[in-house]
Structure 1
Amino acid sequence: MPKIAKITTQKKKKNRYNIFLENAGGEKYGFSVDEDILVNYHLHKGMDLDAETIEQLVERDTVHKSFTLAINYLSYRMRSEKEIRKYLDDKEVEPEQIDEVVDRLYEQKLLDDMEFAKALVRTRINTSSKGPFMVKKDLIEKGVAASTAEEALTFYTFDKQYEKAMKFAEKKMRHGGRKSYRQQIQNLQQTLMQKGFKNDVIQEVVANLESDQGEDEEWQAVVYQGEKILQKYARKAEGYELKHKVKGALYRKGFDFDAIDRFLEEYVES
């Protein structure tokens, strides 16, 4: 049965120790362990180590290194269990060791999907324009259970959704381009839906949104869109047919009939 001949500290990793074993009157490198393993197993010079104990020490050290990897990964931000498992799998950690590391993280309260979900919801509220449906999608993609995601989203109240959606809406309407007010509202509603806001929030925002687009801006938009449409159809139609095509196209873009008729009167020859 081999004995420990000496124990030395690694030069670049002061918390790692090389274990040398007696060998035919001399010594040879056996394995290395972390300081915690060294202390927990009371390793010392002259200690007898059988093959089974050495195998156990190496395995414990491997698990410890995997745990250290997980701790380092968690040091940047909170993680879900799925993220931890994927990270360790990418590092080629054995599945049974991953289970052990995850259990240990839970025991030390370093891993908690509910707390992770709540933290992500708060972050999304503070740093993004996403509504609750999109935030829930983010959570599920990170491996959080749907029930856990729903519970965490109770923090994303109607008032907070309204505040965020209104802020986005006001910004978007200021940069609506040369479109009809009606089309801008339709585009806004569609965008808010895509961002994951609930319909009742969207309708409340639209109902309380103040229009900065007066008659002059709406008329300029009619002229801008109308001239583009005229350019498209003028080579294919004329007279009544041309007016009919232009009128239909402008109506589909959300302009009212009074503005359209004015444009046809001023810009399209009879």
Structure 2
Amino acid sequence: MPIITKVSTQKNSTDRYNVFIDEKFAFGVDEEVLIRFRLRKGKEVTELEITQMQYEDEIRKALNAAIYFLSFRMRSEAEIRTYLKKKEWEEPVIQAVLHKLNEQKYIDDLEFAAAYVRTQVNGGKKGPGTIKKELKQKGVEDQFIDEALSFYNEEQQIDDAIQLGNKVAKKNSSLAERIVKQKIEQFLLTKGFPFHIISIAMEEVEYEKDDDEEWKAMLIQGEKAHRRFHNFSGYEYEQKMKQSLFRKGFSIELIDRFLQEKENEGC
């Protein structure tokens, strides 16, 4: 039966050990494996025990890699599985590691989802639909996602949607009111806010313009269109201007007013 003739600490890793059998290096093991199997000089080991020790050591190495991966931020179970697969550990080893991580509370998909939701809500930049989609991409189960999203109540969603909507309105202040409204609604949809939240928020978002503000926006967009089509004349110029400005959300009355003023200027 093989006999351990030497056990020594590895030079570059003090928590790992080299095991020599019959005066020859046999394998390296983690300190936890060394203690668990009571490896020492003079101990007899079977081939089956050696295989088992090497398997347990693979689990320890994969576990240490997973803990290192977790040291940067919380991870979902699926993220850790993907990470270990990329590191080319076999499925039985990965399963054993995930079991240990769950036992030791290193991973908890419900707490992960709840923390993720809290972070996104505090940032105020995403609606529940987007947050749910991102959590699903991270492999979190629907039941955990739904429970975590319960912390993101409708009142907070409305407040966030109003803030984002006002930013869009300010950014697009030179556009027609109708187009600004469309841009805000589309933006909030892409951010993952549901229709009923958007509808409520739009009642508070400051996108509406009085007559003077709408005319100022008309002047800005009208001059842009004029620079684009100034080489045309007559009916063709008029039609291209009307089509362009109508697509930008302006009323026919404002467009006609602008064109009349341009005509009066002799442009």
TM-score under structure 1 normalisation?
A: 0.89
Q: Are the aligned partners of 1:124 and 1:130 in contact in 2 as well (CA < 8 Å)?
A: yes
Shift of 1:197: 0.6
Partner of 1:264: 259
Query: Which of 160, 163, 178 is the matching residue for 1:164?
Result: 160
Partner of 1:3: 3
Q: Which amino acid aligns with 1:16?
A: R
Partner of 2:143: 147
Q: Are the aligned partners of 2:2 and 2:21 in contact in 1 as well (CA < 8 Å)?
A: yes
Query: Which of 140, 165, 172 is the matching residue for 1:176?
Result: 172
CA distance in 2, matches of 1:209, 1:21: 76
- Aligned length, in residue pairs: 265
Q: Which amino acid aligns with 1:250?
A: L
1:41 aligns with 2:37: yes
Provide the aligned C-alpha RMSD in A. 2.1
Partner of 1:84: 80
Query: Which of 120, 126, 129 is the matching residue for 1:130?
Result: 126
Partner of 2:241: 246
SS in 2 for 1:111: coil
- CA deviation string 1:127-161 (max 9, x = no partner): 35111111111011111123332222111111111
Identity %, equivalent residues = 40
Query: Which of 90, 94, 102 is the matching residue for 1:94?
Result: 90
The equivalences for 1:10-89 within 5 A come to 10-22=10-22, 27-89=23-85
Query: Which of 250, 259, 262 is the matching residue for 1:255?
Result: 250
Shift of 1:216: 3.7
Shift of 1:231: 4.4
CA distance in 2, matches of 1:148, 1:161: 19
Q: Are the aligned partners of 2:166 and 2:207 in contact in 1 as well (CA < 8 Å)?
A: no
Shift of 1:264: 2.3
Partner of 1:195: 191
CA distance in 2, matches of 1:57, 1:114: 34
CA distance in 2, matches of 1:172, 1:97: 50
CA distance in 2, matches of 1:268, 1:157: 55
CA distance in 2, matches of 1:82, 1:251: 50
Query: Which of 203, 219, 222 is the matching residue for 1:223?
Result: 219
Q: Which amino acid aligns with 1:264?
A: L
TM-score under structure 2 normalisation?
A: 0.90
Which sits farther off after the overlay, 141-150 or 228-237? 228-237
CA distance in 1, matches of 2:136, 2:170: 34
Q: Are the aligned partners of 2:62 and 2:89 in contact in 1 as well (CA < 8 Å)?
A: yes
Q: Are the aligned partners of 1:243 and 1:268 in contact in 2 as well (CA < 8 Å)?
A: no
Q: Which amino acid aligns with 2:256?
A: D
Q: Are the aligned partners of 2:33 and 2:53 in contact in 1 as well (CA < 8 Å)?
A: yes
Shift of 1:187: 0.6
| Unaligned stretches of 5+ residues in structure 2 | none
CA distance in 2, matches of 1:56, 1:247: 80
CA distance in 1, matches of 2:232, 2:256: 21
Which sits farther off after the overlay, 203-212 or 31-40? 203-212
Q: Are the aligned partners of 2:165 and 2:184 in contact in 1 as well (CA < 8 Å)?
A: yes
SS in 1 for 2:203: helix
- CA deviation string 1:13-61 (max 9, x = no partner): 1111111222xxxx22121111111111111111111211111111111
CA distance in 2, matches of 1:144, 1:59: 29
SS in 2 for 1:204: helix
Which sits farther off after the overlay, 136-145 or 125-134? 125-134
Shift of 1:62: 0.9
Q: Which amino acid aligns with 2:25?
A: Y
